[in-house]
Amino acid sequence: MNGVLIIDKPSGRTSHDIVRDVKRLLGAKKVGHAGTLDPLATGVLTICINEATKLAQFFSNDDKEYRATMLLGVRTDTLDIEGEVLEHCKLNLQTEELKDVMEGFVGRIEQRVPKYSAVKFKGKPLYKWTRQGVDIEPPLRSVDVYHINVEEIRIPYVTFTVSCSKGTYIRSLCADIGDTLGCGACLTGLRRTRSGCFDEGNAISLELLADEEAIGILKKNLIPLANSLPGLRRIVVDQDTADRIRKGYQPDFGVLNDKKTPLLGKGDLVKFVMQDGSIIAVAKTLFSAEEIPQLGNGKQAAKILRVFN
């Protein structure tokens, strides 16, 4: 059993809890997830089964969309409502000021990774260092916020949607907005509504289901490997080429030159598939489509990143 599941994670459970449940229910040998959701958060969690665990690195790079609720005037040590309250501040702000400040966070921004996060320092997650009382300055990261849309303002609560690149911490975004306003803020609710090409409409809930019913729903909604990366351009190969790729062959210009690849750019991800759609490998192109016809015989044109059995 190989494929991808889109689970609607409930609040109060970790991403690892969901992985453990799916592994037990399906009796799968390998199960992993792509894009951790904090226990507070709900929504789209991509679960990879067996051979599909090789796809996790590609899903993790996907853009995300969230619906978040922010509490103004409260600062906590975890940047969300589940942490220890560090400060309460009185509010004296106008709606337009709030919207202007939030709009200022659209674009490429710098975020400091939360101290309570799974990012590792010397091989150990930051949250473990923090809980042990070791004060470590988390690293800064550049992330992209594509848009922020304020849905509702009921001071001190603000509900908004945000579209962003991988690695964006919404609780950090709330805290930074609060700091800019001068009153502080923390995250009180978060739902991931989209991860890459999968949205909440694809997500299945396992809450309150008996094991037998849950197993049936999981099997019915398993996305085959061939359909798991719909955004990647397909390059169809014959059985001989597929066997060679599985043995370590790095595709040369001949494999790409006779394919319909007019839109390929250097560094694009592609998937090599059989005629029946079964996936053989994911690769990164080393040249653009315009350059491929000019390459000499035997010149490597793509680098294989993952091979599937």
Task: Please report whether residue 85 resides in a domain.
Answer: yes
Domain tally, the chain? 3
Looking at residues 251-267, what average pLDDT do you find?
A: 72
Same domain, 110 and 181: yes
Which one from 8, 17, 21, 38 is the annotated catalytic residue? 38
Same domain, 252 and 292: yes
Q: Which of 168, 192, 223, 215 is nearest to 8 (CA)?
A: 192
Same domain, 163 and 208: no
Residue bearing the bigger pLDDT, 253 or 147: 147
pLDDT score at 125: 84
**Predicted TM-score of the model (pTM):** 0.88
Residues facing residue 282 across a β-bridge: 271, 306
Looking at residues 209-222, what average pLDDT do you find?
A: 94
Contact call for residues 65 and 40 (beta carbons, < 8 A): no
User: Does residue 38 have an active-site annotation?
Assistant: yes
CA-CA-CA-CA torsion sign (113, 117, 119, 125): positive
The pLDDT confidence band at residue 260, using thresholds 50, 70 and 90, is low
The predicted-structure confidence for 227-252, as pLDDT tens digits, reads as follows: 888 888 888 889 999 999 999 999 88
Task: Please report whether residue 192 resides in a domain.
Answer: no
CATH of the domain at 174: 3.30.2350.10
Task: Provide the residue range defining the domain that includes 120.
Answer: 69-186
pLDDT for 95 beyond 80: yes
pLDDT for 262 beyond 60: no
The predicted-structure confidence for 159-187, as pLDDT tens digits, reads as follows: 999 999 999 999 999 999 999 999 999 99
Residue bearing the bigger pLDDT, 142 or 230: 142
pLDDT score at 99: 95
Same domain, 153 and 260: no
The pLDDT confidence band at residue 134, using thresholds 50, 70 and 90, is confident
Same domain, 169 and 212: no
Q: In whole angstroms, how far apart are CA 158 and each of 4, 70, 134, 285?
A: 34, 5, 33, 44
Same domain, 289 and 247: yes
